[in-house]
Amino acid sequence: MLTTVNIPTNNKISIDLHCHSVNSDGSHQVKEVLDMAKANGGNYLALTDHDTVAGVTEAKMYAKEIGLNLIGGVEISVTWDGNSLVHILGLNVDETNLNLIENLNKLRMQRYLRGQKIAANLAKVGIQGALAGAMKYADSEESLSRTHFSRFLVDSGHAKPGKAFDKFLAQGKPGYVSQTWASLADAVSWIKDSGGVAVIAHPGRYKFTRTKLLRLITQFKELGGIGLEIISSSHSKDDAYSMAQIAKNEGLVGSVGSDFHTADEGYRKIMVGVNYPLPDNMCKAIYPLLGIPEPVYKTIT
């Protein structure tokens, strides 16, 4: 049987444009994340913590020491179309831009208050101590995330690994608290005004109908958004192909990212810094817009 493989001919280029540290809901310090990316062969890494650029300065300094190219990034929480949660990545943003920092801080200030409400909801279904429990995993009140609640719920035996969202934390489940994050227009403008490019993160995760996804994309493009994340740990291979097709049709560039949060998850293994190529002959890649040389692949059959 013949199999086809893509071999990078300039295999020094390994690109990962989406990952997290303890500055949001990742479980590793910035330096640990970068060390892991480097050890996995990474060359270009964007640190994209939720609603903060707090780790980027440290990341850029440490990246220089270890010979990694660090791209300043952020993943902004957006409430769109009433009550849909969408994540917008800002890549190449200037981490010293005051407008960006101040607006992100306002979003982060809502997190602890929401955490108190999540804990109150969980108490109603018999789970006590969730706020203190979740805070044990969080670096600060402003970074408190549903991910930290999910770790608490799994470690305290209330949910099986990987099931805390389905059981308690996803929309419609007992612990869920609705929250108004940034508008799509604000998120894209903060990113653009700080010199970055905006990308819709993990579009396959939202489970939107095609019509709704295209409506999001149309609005996003009108606002100046340019990219769609194609490769993501939230995407199946089929998701990646259909998103690459949509990106091509819609004239968006494709992005790639692990969405790495932790090396300790147990039930699945997501690696940071590893390059997964975009599907062949489909959308254009985001790389030139970030000053990244395009990897060249040789197909061997």
As a whole number of angstroms, the distance between CA 80 and CA 182 comes to 9
Tokens of 137: 């995993």
- Amino acid sitting at position 38: K
Q: Look up residue 289 and give its amino acid.
A: L
Residue 142 binding target from Mn ion, ligand AMP, none, CB below 5 to 8 Å by type: none
Site for ligand AMP in 171-230 (CB under 6 A): none
Beta-carbon contacts of 39 under 8 Å, excluding residues fewer than 6 positions away, are: 273
Choices 129-137, 139-147, 221-229, 269-277; region in contact with ligand AMP by CB under 6 A: 139-147
> Residue 278 binds what, of ligand AMP, Mn ion, none (CB under 5 to 8 Å, by partner type)?
none
Q: How far is the CB of 185 from ligand AMP (least distance, A)?
A: 20
User: Which H or E run includes 297?
Assistant: strand 297-300
Under rule CB under 6 A, residue 23 binds ligand AMP: no
Among 100, 95, 99, 78, residue whose Cα is nearest residue 87 = 78
Q: Does 87 bind Mn ion (CB under 5 A)?
A: yes
Query: At 250, which amino acid appears?
Result: E
Which partner from the list Mn ion, ligand AMP, none does 189 bind, CB cut-off 5 to 8 Å by kind? none
| Strands of 66-107, DSSP E | 69-80, 84-91
Q: How many residues bind ligand AMP, per CB under 6 A? A: 9
For ligand AMP, the closer of residues 52 and 194 by Cβ is 52
* 15 to 34: interface string for Mn ion, x by CB under 5 A: ----------x---------
